[in-house]
C-alpha cells in the first residue's frame, strides 16, 4: 500500500511540475514578445543606482533615464572627462549625482565601493555596464589586452557585486543588471577574447540569480542583457549581413528595452527579438548545423572591417 501511495504521489508531483513548466514557458514567451509599457513598472524613486561605464554610450543614457525617474545616481568610469560630462547632463534632472574615476581592471573596486557607501549610501540598483573590446583575432591579440578584457568584462562583476549585493540581500530589495552580449551566447570569429569574457558575464549572472533565488530573496532581482552590435562607436566598422533579422541596433531602442527590462524585473533581455530564436537554435542544433546557420547569416564576417573606438586614457 505504501509503495502504491508513493508512486501516486510521484505521478501527481510530476504532472504538477509539468503544469508549472508549461505556465512559466507561456508567461516567459509572452513577456518577451510584449511591447514596452504594457507590464507594470516598479518605482526607483530615491533608489541609489550605480552604473559602471557611465562616461559615454549606454551608461550615460541610462544615468539620464534613471535620474528622470527620481533615482540617486552614482557614475563609475575610467574616463574622468567623459564621466564629468555625464554628471553635468544628469545634474539637469537631479542634484544627487556623484562621479568616481575608477579603472575596473584594477583591484581598487572594493576601496571605491566603500567610498560610495560612506559618501552616498548603500546601492539599490547595480548596473554592470562597462565593457571593452579588442576586435583582434586570437594570435594578433597581445596577452595584456586579453587579460584586461577578462578583467573589465567578467571579473569586475564579481567585485562590484560582492561589494553591494549584501545590503540588497539584507533588505530583500535590490537589482543587479549585467550588460553582456549576444557574443556571450554564441562564438564569433574575431571576438575570441570578447566572447570568452561575455560568456563569463552571462554565466556569472545566471549563477548569481540561482544563488539569490535559493536564498528565497524574492525582492532582489538579477537581469542579464544580451544585445547584438550597437551603434555606439564601440564596434565601429562592424557590418551585418542580415539586417532584417540581425540589424545593428540603435542606442535609443536598446535603452528603452533595457529600462523596460529593469523596471519590470525581467530576468533576461535579448536584442533584437530574433536573438531568442538564435540562442535557442544554437543550443539545440548540432555544432555543424549551428555553424552553417552562422555562416548563412554572415556572423563570422561581421568583424572583418572592425575599427572600434579609441580607448580613453585614465586621468592623472
- Catalogue all structural domains in the chain, each as residue range(s) with its CATH number: 41-301 (3.40.50.720)
Lowest-confidence pick of 19-33, 124-138, 178-192? 19-33
* Percent with pLDDT over 70 in the chain: 93
If we measure between CA atoms, which residue out of 192, 179, 187 comes closest to residue 125?
Answer: 179
CB 102 within 8 A of CB 112: yes
Whether residue 22 has pLDDT greater than 90: no
Can you give the pLDDT at residue 277?
87
Distances (CA, A) of 70 to 37, 92, 225: 18, 12, 23
Which residues, including other chains, have CB under 8 Å from residue 152's CB and lie 6 or more apart?
104, 105, 130, 131, 132, 197
Can you give the pLDDT at residue 126?
98
Could you tell me the strand order of the sheet in which 97-101 lies?
97-101, 72-77, 48-52, 125-128, 174-179, 220-227, 268-271
pLDDT in tens, 93-112: 999 999 999 999 987 899 99
Lowest-confidence pick of 83-87, 212-216, 300-304? 300-304
If we measure between CA atoms, which residue out of 293, 219, 227, 214 comes closest to residue 256?
Answer: 227
Give pTM, 2 decimals. Answer: 0.89
Tell whether the torsion through CA atoms of 244, 245, 247 and 250 is positive or negative. positive
Whether residue 237 has pLDDT greater than 70: yes
pLDDT in tens, 138-170: 999 999 999 999 999 999 999 999 999 999 999
C-alpha cell at 245: 533579422
- Find the mean pLDDT for residues 233-251: 92
Q: Catalogue the active-site residues.
A: 194
Strand partners, 249: 230
Amino acid at each position: 500500500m505504501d509503495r502504491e501511495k508513493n508512486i501516486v504521489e510521484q505521478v501527481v508531483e510530476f504532472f504538477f511540475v509539468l503544469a508549472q513548466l508549461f505556465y512559466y514557458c507561456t508567461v516567459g514567451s509572452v513577456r518577451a514578445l510584449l511591447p514596452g509599457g504594457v507590464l507594470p513598472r516598479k518605482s526607483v524613486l530615491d533608489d541609489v543606482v550605480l552604473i559602471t561605464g557611465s562616461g559615454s554610450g549606454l551608461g550615460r543614457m541610462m544615468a539620464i533615464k534613471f535620474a528622470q525617474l527620481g533615482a540617486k545616481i552614482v557614475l563609475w568610469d575610467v574616463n574622468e572627462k567623459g564621466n564629468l560630462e555625464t554628471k553635468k547632463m544628469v545634474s539637469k534632472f537631479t542634484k544627487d549625482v556623484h562621479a568616481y574615476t575608477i579603472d575596473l581592471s584594477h583591484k581598487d573596486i572594493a576601496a571605491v565601493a566603500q567610498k560610495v557607501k560612506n559618501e552616498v549610501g548603500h546601492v539599490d540598483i547595480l548596473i554592470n555596464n562597462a565593457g571593452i573590446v579588442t576586435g583582434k583575432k586570437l594570435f594578433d591579440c597581445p596577452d595584456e589586452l586579453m587579460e584586461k578584457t577578462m578583467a573589465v568584462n567578467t571579473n569586475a562583476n564579481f567585485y562590484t557585486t560582492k561589494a553591494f549585493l549584501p545590503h540588497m540581500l539584507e533588505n530583500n530589495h535590490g537589482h543587479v543588471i549585467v550588460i553582456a552580449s549576444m557574443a556571450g551566447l554564441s562564438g564569433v570569429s574575431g571576438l575570441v577574447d570578447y566572447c570568452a569574457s561575455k560568456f563569463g558575464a552571462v554565466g556569472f549572472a545566471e549563477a548569481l540569480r540561482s544563488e539569490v533565488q535559493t536564498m528565497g530573496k524574492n525582492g532582489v532581482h538579477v537581469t542579464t542583457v544580451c544585445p547584438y552590435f550597437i551603434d555606439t562607436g564601440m564596434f565601429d566598422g562592424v557590418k551585418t549581413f542580415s539586417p532584417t533579422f540581425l540589424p545593428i541596433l540603435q542606442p535609443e531602442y536598446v535603452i528603452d528595452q533595457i529600462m523596460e527590462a529593469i523596471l519590470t524585473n525581467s530576468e533576461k533581455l535579448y536584442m533584437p527579438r530574433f536573438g531568442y530564436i538564435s540562442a535557442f537554435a544554437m543550443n539545440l542544433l548540432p555544432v555543424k548545423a549551428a555553424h552553417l546557420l552562422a555562416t548563412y547569416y554572415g556572423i563570422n564576417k561581421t568583424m572583418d572591417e572592425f575599427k572600434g573606438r579609441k580607448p580613453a586614457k585614465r586621468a592623472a
